[in-house]
Amino acid sequence: MNYKTYKHKIMELGKAFKIDDVGSMIEVETPFINHNGDSITFCIECTDDEISLSDDGQTINTLSLNGIDLDESKTLSVVFKKIRTQYRIDYNDDLDELTFTFNTSNDNFTEQVTTYIQALLSIDTLYYLQRR
């Protein structure tokens, strides 16, 4: 599949999704909002064999900007790891980037994207678990 096909598949999720070409990637702005009221966004990067979804560090950075340090709280750290395991999300600690990679032969592209969005939203809710 090519980028055009993936853009079309994102549009199948709903007209509220905004899509923009950013170099060799597709940036997707979803209609879902985080605890700050900002739209959940992510990028799609494709190779011949794989599709990679990445939040470019936005989810963890937003939590950090609001005083949430996942390394500081054992409870939040455990929940964060459970969410990542449940949704098969990879975490790059250096970039604070959450990624989800799957094979291009997978016919469930929209299901994979939906799962990734659910993961980002679940991680964002860690904001509400923090004791103030």
Please determine, for residue 107, whether its predicted confidence score (pLDDT) is greater than 60: yes
Please determine, for residue 49, whether its predicted confidence score (pLDDT) is greater than 80: yes
pLDDT of residue 15: 77
Torsion region of 102: left, alpha or beta (phi above 0 gives left; psi -120 to 50 gives alpha): beta
110-127 pLDDT, tens per residue?
899 999 999 999 999 999
Domains of the chain in start order, with CATH, are 3-129 (3.30.1460)
* DSSP string over the chain: --HHHHHHHHHHT-TT-EEEEETTEEEEEEEEE-TTSPEEEEEEEE-SSEEEEE-TTHHHHHHHHTT--TTT-HHHHHHHHHHHHHHT-EEETTTTEEEEEEETT-S-HHHHHHHHHHHHHHHHTHHHHS--
Question: What tokens does 120 get?
Answer: 């980002």
63-88 pLDDT, tens per residue?
999 999 998 889 999 999 999 999 99
pLDDT of residue 108: 85
pLDDT of residue 29: 95
Please determine, for residue 132, whether its predicted confidence score (pLDDT) is greater than 90: no
Q: How confident is the model at residue 5 (pLDDT cuts 50, 70, 90)?
A: low
CA R_g for the chain: 15
pLDDT of residue 32: 95
Q: How far apart are CA 107 and CA 48, in angstroms?
A: 14
pLDDT of residue 41: 96
